[in-house]
Amino acid sequence: MSADSATVIRGGRIICPGSGLDLQTDILVRDGAIAAVGTNRATEPLHVIDATGKVVCPGLIDVHVHLREPGAEQKETIRTGTRAAVRGGFTTVCAMPNTSPAPDIPENVAAIRERVRRDAWCRVGLIGAATVGNDRFHLSDFRALRDAGCVAISDDAFMLTTREQRREALLRCAELGLIFLAHAEAEELSAGGVMHRGAVAERLGLPGQHPETEVRSLAEWREAWDGPGRPPLHIAHLSTAAGVELLRDWSDGPTAETAPHYLALTDEAVATHGANAKMNPPLRTEQDRQALIDALCDGTIAVIATDHAPHTVQEKAAGMLAAPFGIVGLETALSVVLAELVESGRMKLSQALATMTAAPAALLGLPQGLIEAGAPADLLIFEPDSRWSVDAEEFVSLGRNTPFAGRELPGFVSTVLLAGRVVLDRGRLADTQPPAHLN
């Protein structure tokens, strides 16, 4: 089905957290955009998608994804990563800058954007590297990166080293209208640790990361943030109760995200899943898990992002001490969120979806994330009551590194539209890649 034909999505439960819409009705899509929301009586020839018994919402948006290309295509490529995104219900992902070369100068950004136009199956926003070559010391030219097309700036896992450097990065972002995504980790407390330091690590005989590593880094960012103005700061992958409390006490402070795995798992998962439960920051305690859910419920944390970080099977087979940090998440994120937040009764469905649609769209100022006339027809249709079992061998991602293997989860992603074009139909990817102009 081409984007310029008219399509009606009929009879679904339409949920748009950004506008408060939640009712059973139709959506008319024409020329890549939403033409109307409401009972459709059009007489023109239509492609009809029956959404009876299903939820229709804006396509999911992930502000924290590692696509690995260029430089580590054995782990993931732009093509495989964005196909995995579509299969998980995402229509927009933002690629973190830990590639080789990094998106640290306009020429590198242009080269990566060309790869995206050639290979991507969904919209991709590039996040620029905060330092040249990710060296942690020499700030990149943020203006040049913005003008080249970057949607945000991040230090990713290459943390800035001084208050002055952090302050300068924030002020530059404020001047340019960019968000700075900060990786909150005090390396002097995390170095050498492969999981959360606590009773489980002691039982397993594994070196742990001190639980204060996150909150100490947050305190350093707060010191840099304090002063005239309110620089646009976003805290990546919040993982601790102490971090939540600091954020609550930070008046008019930054936005923050957490990841689905921190809502579903604790450090006990390492005993079962080994290196497939090794990520940074690490899985924490049950107290931390509950604090993160509470923070989502009260709005302290606004965004859920996957931190999708694929690695090869061989790398993860090296064991906890040698395996790299990171797990995949694009193909399981929605279902994990439904299980931990909605089925558990902690959040309404519309609230949970807001963390993956309206909130990330607002964070980056994206036109996606809404269902209203004139908005891009980036839409997700899923079956909330259907259950499926996670089989990593069936992932579209090259990564198999998931701690959710074998788990039964709710929420089958049925159909995804990107600019009005069906790119996933009844759970199967389309034969034809979306057009390059979408990126």
Q: Indicate which residues carry an active-site annotation.
A: 307
367 burial type by CB count under 10 A (0-12 exposed, 13-18 middle, 19+ buried): exposed
How would you label 21-38 residue by residue, b for 16+ Cβ within 10 Å and e otherwise? bbeebbbbbbebbbbbbe
Q: How many helices (H) and strands (E) does the chain have?
A: 15, 19
Task: Please tell me what DSSP assigns to residue 319.
Answer: -
Task: Please tell me what DSSP assigns to residue 402.
Answer: -
Q: What whole-number distance in Å separates Cα of residue 75 and Cα of residue 81?
A: 10
Cβ contact 69:76 at 8 Å? yes
Looking at residue 156, its amino acid is: D
Closest CA to 124 of 308, 321, 393, 302: 308
> Could you tell me which residues come within 8 angstroms of residue 59 by beta carbon, excluding any fewer than 6 positions away?
89, 90, 91, 92, 122, 357, 368, 378, 379, 380, 416, 417, 418
Q: What whole-number distance in Å separates Cα of residue 279 and Cα of residue 325?
A: 4
Cβ contact 372:16 at 8 Å? yes
Q: What are the C-alpha distances in Å from 68 to residues 61, 101, 298, 346, 397?
A: 18, 11, 34, 34, 11
Closest CA to 372 of 382, 387, 357: 357
Task: Please tell me what DSSP assigns to residue 384.
Answer: E
Omega before 310 cis (within 30°)?
no
Q: What whole-number distance in Å separates Cα of residue 233 and Cα of residue 253?
A: 8
Strand (E) or helix (H) holding 47? strand 47-50
Q: Report residue 55 as tokens.
A: 């939820």
Handedness of CA 349, 7, 91, 233 (dihedral sign): negative
Closest CA to 28 of 17, 39, 18: 39
Residue 108 phi/psi, 5-degree rounding, is -70, -40
SS3 285: coil
